[in-house]
Each structure stands twice: as structure tokens, then as C-alpha cells.
Amino acid sequence: MSANLIPILWQATLQTLYMVATSTLLGTLIGGPLGVFLATSRRGELLSAPWLNTVLGLIVNAARSTPFIILVVAIIPFTRLIAGTSIGTTAAIVPLTIAAAPFIARLIETAIREVDAGLIEAARAMGATPGQIVRKVLIPEAMPGIILGLTLAVVSLIGYSAMVGAVGGEGLGDLGIRYGYQRFMPEVMLAVVVILIVLVQLVQSAGEWIAARFDKRAPRNRGR
């Protein structure tokens, strides 16, 4: 591989990190509260709002069942409205965020539903408001699961980010296609794949490490 490809690979890596980090952050800002709401708003639950729960659930499912590449193209007008342009790395963050938010919402919903109902009852018995129960009980207790869920989301977004080359999103995936495939430089393709593998490994390991730091429950398969 010629030395002048190194800066190109480096820049593409930074672009991927930028897109993934920003869309994870924005996706969590939208998907986090949405997930908490979905986890607590069925009939008879803490924030009981069955109709809104159903409607939001349908929207989340619709967003999640749309193939990402179709989503990217379908929302180009919306992307232009938000980002001022429909092409480029920053513009690519819009569809990535819209794909990430419902995914993160479902992951956080699942993590929160894992929290023992007895803890909610105990907090209610203490005179906690629904907001206090969410902040002081549900989110801290679900934190290990939330971290693992976000790890999964980041890994998925790394994969999605490879498709935004379709709207000039650049990044590693785009580089792999343009150089590796269209210019027939298989070593670039290989380098891109290796970098992606390393990124995913790092994210996964970091996520598991952080989740373990938050996890104060008894170790599984060991006593008690």
C-alpha cells in the first residue's frame, strides 16, 4: 500500500468516528427518553399512557423496519432542511440519528423492563414521584444493560455509516467502495475492513468494561 493512502485512511476513520459519535449522542438524546417512556407507559404502569405508548411503539417499529439505505434516500428533503445540505459527512448524521434513535429507544426500554418490579413498589412506598422513580431507581438500576445496549447501537452505527457514501457521507465504508471497488485497489478494501474490525472490537471491549464497572449485582454463575 502506498504511503499516500495512509492520510486518506486516517481521514476516513475520523469521518466515521465523527458520524458515529454524533449520531449516537443525538440518537441517545432522542431515543433515551423515548425508551424510558415506552418502558413505563403501558396501562397501569408508572406513567400509564397506553394510547401514546401504542402510537410511539408503531412509529418506532416503522422506523426500525425501513432498510437503512432506503431511509437515507427517502429523507433527503428532511436532511436538507436540518443540515442545510443533503450531501456530506454532516448531512449523513441526520439519517444515522433517525435510524439510531428508535433502535436505542428499544434497547433502553428492554434494559429498564429488566429492573425488578419490587424496586418500583419499594420506591412508591417511600413516597417517590414517577420522575424520582425513573431518575433514582430505574435508570441507575438499568445502567449496565443500558451501556451494553448503547455498545450494540454504536457497533450497528459503524455498519450503517458505511452506507452513507450514497449521499456523499464519506467515511471508511465510502472509501472502501470508491478505492477498493471502483478503482480496483483491493489493499484499500482490506485496510478499511481491518480498521472497522479493530474499531468494533475496541467499542465492544470498552462497552463491556464500562458496563461491568456499573454492575454491582452478584456475579452470575457464582454462589448466591
Partner 1 sequence: MTGPAISFQGVTRRYPQKGGGDVVALHDIWLDVPQGAITGIIGRSGAGKSTLLRMVNGLERPSAGKVIVNDHDVGAASDAGLRRIRREVGMIFQHFNLLASRTVAENIALPLEIAGEDRARIAPRVAELIERVGLTAQAGRYPAELSGGQKQRVGIARALATGPRVLLSDEATSALDPDTTRQVLDLLQAINRDLGLTILLITHEMAVVRDICSHVAVIEAGRIVETGETYAVFSKPAHATTRSFLTGVTGVAVPQFVAHRMQETPQSPEAEAVLQITFIGSHATDPMLARLTAERGVSVNILAGAIEEIGTRPFGSLIVALPAQRLEEARRFLEEHGLLTEVLGHVG
**Least gap, CB of 143 to partner 1 (angstroms):** 6
C-alpha cell at 13: 476513520
Our CB check for partner 1 shows the closer of 11 and 132 to be 132
Site map 41..80 versus partner 1, x via CB under 8 A: ----------------------------------------
Site map 83..122 versus partner 1, x via CB under 8 A: ---------------------------------x-xx-xx
CA-closest candidate to residue 46, choices 136, 142, 143, 134: 134
- Residue 153 sits at the vertex; the CA angle it makes with 151 and 155, to the nearest 5 degrees, is 70
Site map 117..156 versus partner 1, x via CB under 8 A: -xx-xxxxxxxxx--x---xx--xx-x-------------
Query: Phi and psi dihedrals of 131, rounded to 5?
Result: -60, -40
Our CB check for partner 1 shows the closer of 101 and 142 to be 142
49 burial (CB, 10 Å; 0-12 / 13-18 / 19+) is: middle
**Least gap, CB of 132 to partner 1 (angstroms):** 5
3-state helix, strand, coil split of the chain in percent (to 5) is: 80, 0, 20
- Count other Cβ atoms within 10 Å, centred on residue 190: 13
Residues at the site binding partner 1, with contacts judged by CB under 8 A: 116, 118-119, 121-129, 132, 136-137, 140-141, 143, 214, 216-218, 224
